[in-house]
């Protein structure tokens, strides 16, 4: 536990001189621990001289921060208008079937690949022109 405390302390120290340091800190904590849990919120709050409620309010506002770590691989699939126009809704069932309990299928709104959808993201890799076969393969290899 103390290692987590120390590590978050380091992250806070790294960003504290910035104007508006909270989001960069939360990004690093999410990246390192896979979540920003209540314990992390308390440590960050102490480091920035904020209340835990302040920090929790921010953490819970944004989609990118999660209260619990999810060890499953994530496949983000865009379901915004442009990808809908290119048929994402007809392949989402295949993605979910291929995912089962093993892979997390997450809906995102827009990856900026709107002329070549349906689009998906795994980690920092992007995927375009997905059809039923391609999305199934993508999820199976996630």
Partner 1 sequence: MTIVKISDDALARAGGADKLAAAFEKKGCEVHRTSSWGMHWLEPLVEIDGKGFGPATLDDVDAILDGSSDLGIGVIEEHPFIAAQTRLTFARAGKTRPLSLEDYEAHGGWSGLKRARAIGPEAIVQEVLDSGLRGRGGAGFPTGIKWKTVAGAPGPKKYIVCNADEGDSGTFADRMAMEGDPFALIEGMAIAGEAVGADQGYIYLRSEYPDAIRKLNAALALCADIIAPFKCEVRVGAGAYVCGEETSLLNSLEGKRGEVRAKPPLPALEGFLGRPTVVNNVLSLAAVPHILMEGGAAQYAERGIGRSKGTMPIQLAGNIKHGGLFEAPFGMTLHQLVNEIGGGTASGRPVKAVQVGGPLGAYLHPDQFDIAFGYEEYAGVDALIGHAGITVFDDTADMGEMARFAMEFCAAESCGKCTPCRIGSVRGQEIIDRIRAGGRKRDDLELAPQMHNTKKNAGRSVEEEIGLLTDLCETMKFGSLCALGGFTPYPVMSALKHWPGDFVSNPEAVEKALDAAE
Binding site for partner 1 (CB under 8 A): 18-24, 26-27, 57-58, 61-65, 78, 80-86, 108-117, 119, 121, 124-129
Closer CB to partner 1, 40 or 102, in the complex:
40
Using DSSP bridges, classify how beta strands 120-122 and 104-108 pair: parallel, antiparallel or unpaired: unpaired
Q: Which is nearest to 142 in space by CA: 104, 96, 106, 97? A: 104
Residues facing 120 on adjacent strands: 77, 127
> 92 vs 114, which CB is nearer to partner 1?
114
Beta carbon nearer to partner 1, 103 or 138: 138
Q: How far is CA 66 from CA 29, 47, 120, in A?
A: 11, 20, 20
Smallest distance from the beta carbon of 100 to partner 1, in angstroms?
Answer: 25
Please identify, using beta-carbon distances, which residue of 102 and 137 lies nearer to partner 1. 137
- Residue 106: CB minimum distance to partner 1, A: 10
Kindly state the smallest distance separating residue 98's Cβ from partner 1, in Å: 19
Roughly how many angstroms between the first and final C-alpha of the chain, as a whole number? 31
Closer of 7 and 126 to partner 1 (Cβ): 126
Longest CA span, the chain = 51
Closest separation between CB of residue 68 and partner 1, Å?
17
CB of 111 to partner 1, least distance (A): 5
Q: How far apart are CA 34 and CA 97, in angstroms?
A: 25
DSSP 78: E
């Amino acid at each position: 536990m103390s290692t987590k405390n120390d590590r978050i302390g380091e992250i806070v120290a790294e960003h504290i001189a910035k104007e508006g340091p909270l989001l960069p800190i939360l990004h690093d904590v999410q990246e390192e621990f896979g979540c920003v849990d209540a314990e992390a919120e308390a440590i960050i709050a102490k480091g920035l001289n904020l209340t835990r409620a302040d920090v929790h309010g921010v953490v819970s506002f944004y989609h990118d921060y999660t209260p619990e770590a999810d060890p499953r691989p994530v496949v983000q699939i865009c379901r915004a208008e442009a990808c809908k126009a290119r048929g994402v809704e007809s392949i989402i069932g295949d993605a979910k079937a291929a995912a089962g309990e093993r892979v997390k299928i997450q809906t995102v709104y827009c990856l900026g690949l709107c002329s070549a959808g349906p689009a998906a993201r795994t980690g920092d890799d992007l995927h375009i022109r997905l059809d039923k076969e391609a999305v199934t393969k993508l999820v199976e290899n996630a």
